[in-house]
Amino acid sequence: MRLRFWLLFLLALPSLFAASLPDDFEAALKRFRAEGAPGWSFVQRTEAAGESRLERFDAARPEFDRWTLLEQNGRAPTEAEVREYREKQSRRSSPFNAPKLTDQLDFETLKEVGSDEAKKRYTCALKPDGEGDTVAHFLEVKLTLDRATGVFEEVEIVSRGPFSPAVAVKIAEMKTVMRYSLPDEERPSLLVEVTTRLRGRAFWVKSLDADMTVVRSEFAYAGKKPLPRDN
């Protein structure tokens, strides 16, 4: 009987010592969607490696027919480019393949690192999303919470310093910043900008340097039901 008691006690330890989240952080986390609120159409411009692309995402269309190529490098796309684009987009249903942050946040490491009348700022370590994830241990997440609306206005995933995720691969800097609009009477919090920055080398000679900027605009609600308010 005594042995059974101790076994039950040991099994309960993780929940007894689970991280207690600040109320405002927990509330913001529940309504947070890394890809932004669903049901919204928008125009998206992507710039990377000296090239640009302008697309439209139509949330009202069938799942695998929501993306349309509007411009390629500042001009109308050719027939060949449109055909290639459609072939690649046939499997693309999500407007943004954002990381599953809510599953990877290590709440035991959550810290409030600054606050003022308008914002609160937190940092948190990132847990691997699988056995093959060799990068997460080197990253941390910075979250900026807007006090007035109770939503995350900015989420930054950044490396703590130089690291090597694999043999012969050296990363000097890795950063992704996601920025969100604040909700109001007309619309909820929406993802408006994503920037990524990578600096590193492979096999000591091949550069891995890359930058990308994604900006969304011209939002329009495509749902049929009344828009729920975020706050």
15-59 pLDDT, tens digit each: 333 458 999 999 999 999 999 899 999 999 999 999 999 999 999
Mean pLDDT of the chain: 87
Burial class (CB in 10 A: 0-12, 13-18, 19+), 61: middle
- Please check whether residue 174 lies inside any domain of the structure: yes
Q: How many CB atoms lie within 10 A of CB 137?
A: 13
- Please check whether residue 59 lies inside any domain of the structure: no
Q: Which helix (H) or strand (E) holds 75?
A: none
Q: How many CB atoms lie within 10 A of CB 174?
A: 21
Q: Which residue segment(s) compose the domain that 132 sits in?
A: 99-217
- Please check whether residue 2 lies inside any domain of the structure: no
What 3-state DSSP class applies to 169?
A: strand
- Please check whether residue 30 lies inside any domain of the structure: no
pTM listed for this prediction:
0.83
- Please check whether residue 147 lies inside any domain of the structure: yes
Q: What domain count does the chain have?
A: 1
- Does pLDDT of 224 surpass 90? no
- Please check whether residue 19 lies inside any domain of the structure: no
What 3-state DSSP class applies to 98?
A: coil
- Please check whether residue 200 lies inside any domain of the structure: yes
Provide the residue count of the chain: 231
pLDDT of residue 8: 42
57 pairs with which residues across the strands? Answer: 42, 67
Rg (alpha carbons) of the chain, rounded to whole number: 21
> What does the block give as tokens for 61?
């269309």
What 3-state DSSP class applies to 214?
A: strand
- Please check whether residue 61 lies inside any domain of the structure: no
Q: How many CB atoms lie within 10 A of CB 97?
A: 8
Q: What is the pLDDT of residues 147-166, one digit of tens each?
A: 999 999 999 999 999 999 99
> What does the block give as tokens for 117?
């009348």
What 3-state DSSP class applies to 100?
A: coil
Nearest CA-CA partner of 159 in 173, 169, 178: 173
